[in-house]
């Protein structure tokens, strides 16, 4: 059911905004009043990357009055496959500068760009004053800091994640309107249950799916601001991009604690015995073309996950990727199949650093 609108409307729209938002104002349930609520709203967007980019574009186009965009990063060419707010000529420039430029080209939305990394120590300060927060960050530590600040401030948190071809979208709110049960990040991911989350660099991300999720997050924000529709409070939308399937999972307050997880053993570059170990590199072809540990076997992660038992019988298995996330996933699959395996801590980056510091033991092209 609809929730009460988040904000009181501005008194009136400018003639230019009335003309620009005419199709919104024709919508039943939005109208001039809803559009004036959007103009009064202040939304904080954490991250100007794959998710934050379409969010900023959509909300600026929608006529949201103020956007605070928080991101400490600069634009890189590899961002542009999914971070559609940036341009090639922005390479090396702060992402918040691209966000402000794009919003100014679309509407009268005022963008406050904050080039600062959000953390538990500054989250409340950065988010205070926003009517609603959208989390488009890319690490779970940041997501926990955002969620904790939103719980403390009592503002709704519109939340989404994208990894490879899959995504989740929901709304958390510690102090929802009367009659609605509070729902928090800990109800979806109890503390300690997540572990290290693979990065986009390690497992990839489909750019088009980022646009889809950013659009959904923006829609949730519009619904909450204007008081229309049924927000995803207490519901998680799960998206399977490859199969074009979406399903909904109920989310309720819970006190269930995560089961203890047996950690995957790790070895350091200095402790690896190249004469005894079977080293398996699970990176992709284009990554191993720059070099592999001498004697290592190349088994891309997807092939290993499809048939982990193909490595049965190998002794002293050490799995390596670029920084360790994919290697851990591979080792977990091997161990689940009854095949002992450990992970090279820090991956090839740590190996190469150790080689440079102590003299090479072998990296073959």
Phi-psi region of 309 (alpha: psi -120 to 50; beta: other; left: phi over 0): alpha
Residues 350, 140, 336, 311: what is their CA dihedral angle, to the nearest 10 degrees? -30
Q: Which residues contact 61 (CB under 8 A, 6 or more apart)?
A: 106, 107
Q: What length does the chain have? A: 365
HEC letters along 87-126: CHHHCCCEHHHHHHHHHHHHCCCEEEEECCCCCCCCHHHH
How many Å apart are CA 80 and CA 76, to the nearest integer?
7
What SS3 state is found at 56? helix
DSSP characters for 294-354? TT-EE--HHHHHH-GGGGTT-SSEEEE-SSSHHHHHHHHHHHHTT---EEETTHHHHHHHH
Instruction: Say whether 150 is catalytic.
Output: no
Closest CA to 325 of 187, 203, 155: 203
Is residue 321 annotated as part of the catalytic site, yes or no? yes
Distance CA 350, CA 274 (A): 16
Strands 166-172 and 157-163: antiparallel
Q: Of the listed 6, 146, 321, 330, which one is catalytic?
A: 321
Task: Please name the residues in contact with 143: beta carbons below 8 A apart, sequence gap of 6 or more.
Answer: 135, 137, 159, 185
- Smallest CA-to-CA distance from 131 within 4, 229, 231, 44 is with 44
Cα angle: 250, vertex 251, 254; to 5 degrees: 135
| Structure token digits, residue 47 | 């991250």
Set 200, 217, 280, 292: catalytic member: 200
Please report the sign of the dihedral spanned by the C-alpha atoms of residue 61, residue 162, residue 30, residue 24. positive
Q: Give the C-alpha distances (Å, rounded to integers) separating 336 from 100, 264, 339.
A: 48, 11, 7
Would you name the residues annotated as active-site residues?
A: 200, 321
């Amino acid at each position: 059911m609809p929730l009460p609108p988040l904000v009181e409307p501005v008194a009136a729209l400018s003639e230019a905004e009335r003309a620009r938002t005419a199709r919104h104002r024709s919508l039943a349930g939005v109208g001039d009043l809803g559009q004036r609520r959007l103009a009064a709203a202040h939304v904080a967007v954490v991250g100007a990357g794959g998710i934050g980019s379409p969010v900023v574009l959509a909300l600026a186009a929608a006529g949201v009055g103020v956007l605070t965009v928080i991101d400490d990063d600069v634009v890189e060419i590899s961002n542009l496959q999914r971070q559609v707010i940036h341009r090639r000529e922005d390479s090396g420039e702060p992402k918040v500068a691209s966000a402000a430029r794009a919003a100014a080209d679309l509407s009268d939305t005022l963008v406050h760009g904050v080039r600062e990394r959000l953390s538990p120590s500054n989250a409340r300060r950065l988010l205070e004053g926003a009517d609603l927060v959208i989390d488009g960050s890319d690490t779970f530590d940041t997501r926990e800091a955002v969620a904790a600040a939103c719980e403390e401030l009592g503002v709704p948190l519109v939340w989404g994640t994208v990894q490879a071809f899959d995504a989740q979208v929901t709304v958390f709110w510690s102090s929802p309107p009367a009659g609605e049960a509070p729902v928090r990040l800990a109800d979806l991911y109890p503390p300690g249950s997540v572990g290290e989350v693979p990065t986009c660099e390690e497992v990839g991300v489909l750019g088009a799916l980022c646009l889809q999720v950013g659009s959904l997050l923006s829609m949730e924000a519009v619904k909450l601001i204007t008081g229309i529709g049924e927000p995803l409070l207490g519901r998680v939308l799960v998206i399977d991009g490859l199969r074009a399937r979406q399903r909904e999972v109920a989310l309720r307050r819970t006190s269930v604690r995560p089961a203890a997880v047996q950690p995957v053993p790790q070895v350091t570059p200095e402790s690896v015995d190249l004469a005894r170990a079977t080293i398996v590199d699970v990176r992709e072809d284009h990554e191993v073309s720059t070099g592999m540990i001498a004697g290592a076997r190349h088994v891309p992660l997807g092939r290993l996950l499809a048939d982990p038992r193909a490595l049965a019988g190998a002794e002293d298995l050490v799995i390596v990727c670029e920084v360790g996330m994919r290697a851990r996933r591979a080792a977990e699959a091997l161990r689940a199949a009854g095949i002992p395996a450990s992970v090279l801590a820090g991956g090839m980056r740590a190996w190469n650093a150790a080689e440079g510091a102590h003299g090479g033991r072998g990296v073959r092209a």
